[in-house]
Amino acid sequence: MCSVKEIYSEAKKALNASATDRVVGREKENDEIYDYLASCFGNKNGLSVYINGQPGTGKTFSVNTMLDSLKEEFKFNKIFLNCMSVKNIQNMYKTVLSEMISNKIDSNLAMPKRCTKESLQKLIESCITSIKHHLVLVLDEIDQIETTIKNASDIYKLFELPYLPNSKLILIGIANSLDFTDRLLPRLELTPEHKPKVIKFLPYTKDDIINIVKDRLSKVQLMYDNCVIIDDKALMLCASKIASTNGDIRKVLDICRRAIELNEQEAKLTNLETIKTVNIAQMMKIFNAVNPITNSNLDRNTMPLMQKILLCTILLCNIETKVKEVTLSKLFEKFNKICKSYSTSVDSESEFVNLCILIQDNGLIEVKKAKEVRNYKLSLKIDEQELRDKLQDETFMADILTNRAYK
């Protein structure tokens, strides 16, 4: 018999995003990638593949796992580069080249003394057309190069690299934006055969999600005489909720982990000998807790009084002027008037500005800066009616909002 704590701990560990190296599901997409790559390794030519899909749909994970398993079948080198930290094309070529050198892809390769864009590109070109084995270059978050590499011809050259005569480069781009291929690539005017093969990773469906979580937990369950960690209904709830939004597996794993944590806390109070199963009520509780709409202090009813009065004042100003923006000086004046009749006050203008910033931190308003503080422009970031309803819950605020004297 093992300790209950150990099971919980193992379960949480299994649900950590990077805890596994087995891809569950995604057979169709993986087969497609495999076919492309295998044909390419056989034919001794280059290729470019572009993979897109929403965050947390397993793109990076699938590609990395696939390449690791291909290592057993084919001989090739792999360079993985995340375009997020790439500053410009030169910087990118340089990183690729230094990776090539450190991976000893070509023994004659050395970093040139002067790293101009052209010289770096020449070197890479000559290298990929003369190497014996294929080189797989994975460019993760490739849609970011659009913001950093302004010159379309540079991107064009990059996408043409696999199609140089004798090129042994396989370029795999991974990104979120679905329209990267539709929008950017036509501009590049690549010839039809040089267009990257596009593979879409659709968001995970309910069944995919259930399979992934079950697979991760199954190992733990086997280890500890088949105890059930998350019950089917609870898992179903989680899967269908996430599948209906964006199918992000990171969110699923996070929620399941938190459900287990909650369960552990509740179980501690009863001192059970065996592990309790996460039930649907607990899963519901987690979902309610992570709902981003209940984030601001206003929703949690912890917002300081003055900040609530300020929100009322903005509402009143908007109603009065029928304009959505109000200047800070105007607001301050009205605010003081209201405060005075309830015999409170803020002590100075800078205090008032501070108050505005605090509400901005809550995400309820936007403060547009201007040269002079008094000309700052404030506008509501949530629906007027919604805010009104929230404020009206309290008699004090309702009083301000309905009092004719302030209108």
Partner 1 sequence: MRSKKAEMDVEYNVEDEIVSSDDDTMSVDSEFSTASTVKTPRTVSRLKKETTLSRTPSVSSAKKPKASLSRRSTFSAVKSTPSMQKRAASKIDQTSDALSLYEKARIKLHVANTPDCLPCRDKQFSDIYNFIETNLRNQTGGCMYVCGVPGTGKTLTTRQVILCLKEGVNDKILSPFKSIEVNAFQVTEPHQIYKLIYKELTGENVSAEHAVTLLEKKFEHKSNESIVLLVDELDMLCTKKQDVLYNLFDWPYKKNSRWIVIAIANAMNLPEQVMSKISSRLGLSRLIFQPYTHVELEEIVRLRLEELNVFDMDAILYAARKVAAVSGDARRALEICRRATELAERDTSKKEGKSLNLVNIGHVDQAVKQMFSSAKITLLTHASKMEKLFMKAIILLYQKSGMEETSLNRIIETHNFLCRAENMQPLNRTQLLNVCCSLASTKLILLEPCKNIYLQRVRCNMSVDDIEYVLNDNK
Distance of CA 175 to the CA centre of its chain: 11
Q: Which of residues 27-86 bind Mg ion (CB under 5 A)?
A: 60
**Choice from 37, 41, 50, 58 touching ligand ATP (CB under 6 A):** 58
Length of the chain: 407
User: Tokens representing 70?
Assistant: 């291909």
24 binds ligand ATP per the rule CB under 6 A: yes
* Residue 262, φ and ψ in degrees, nearest 5: -60, -45
Name the segment binding ligand ATP (CB under 6 A); options: 51-59, 94-102, 118-126, 379-387. Answer: 51-59
248 binds partner 1 per the rule CB under 8 A: yes
**Choice from 191, 288, 302, 385 touching partner 1 (CB under 8 A):** 302
CB of 253 to ligand ATP, least distance (A): 7
* CB environment 19-57: b (16+ within 10 A), e (fewer): ebeebbbbeebbebbeebbeebbeeebbbbbbbbbbebb
| Cα–Cα distance measured from residue 200 to residue 202, given in angstroms and rounded to the nearest whole number | 6
Paired residues of 138 in beta bridges: 80, 172
First CA to last CA distance, the chain: 71
CB of 43 to partner 1, least distance (A): 30
In one-letter notation, the amino acid at residue 205 is T
17 binds ligand ATP per the rule CB under 6 A: yes
CB of 221 to ligand ATP, least distance (A): 17
| Cα–Cα distance measured from residue 334 to residue 155, given in angstroms and rounded to the nearest whole number | 55
**Choice from 26, 78, 168, 251 touching partner 1 (CB under 8 A):** 251
91 binds Mg ion per the rule CB under 5 A: no
Q: How many CB atoms neighbour CB 242 within 10 A? A: 23
**Choice from 3, 38, 39, 55 touching partner 1 (CB under 8 A):** 55
CB of 394 to ligand ATP, least distance (A): 41
**Choice from 5, 133, 233, 250 touching ligand ATP (CB under 6 A):** 250
| Cα–Cα distance measured from residue 259 to residue 277, given in angstroms and rounded to the nearest whole number | 10
399 binds partner 1 per the rule CB under 8 A: no
Residues within the interface to Mg ion (CB under 5 A): 60
Residues within the interface to ligand ATP (CB under 6 A): 17-18, 20, 23-26, 53, 55-61, 176, 212, 249-250
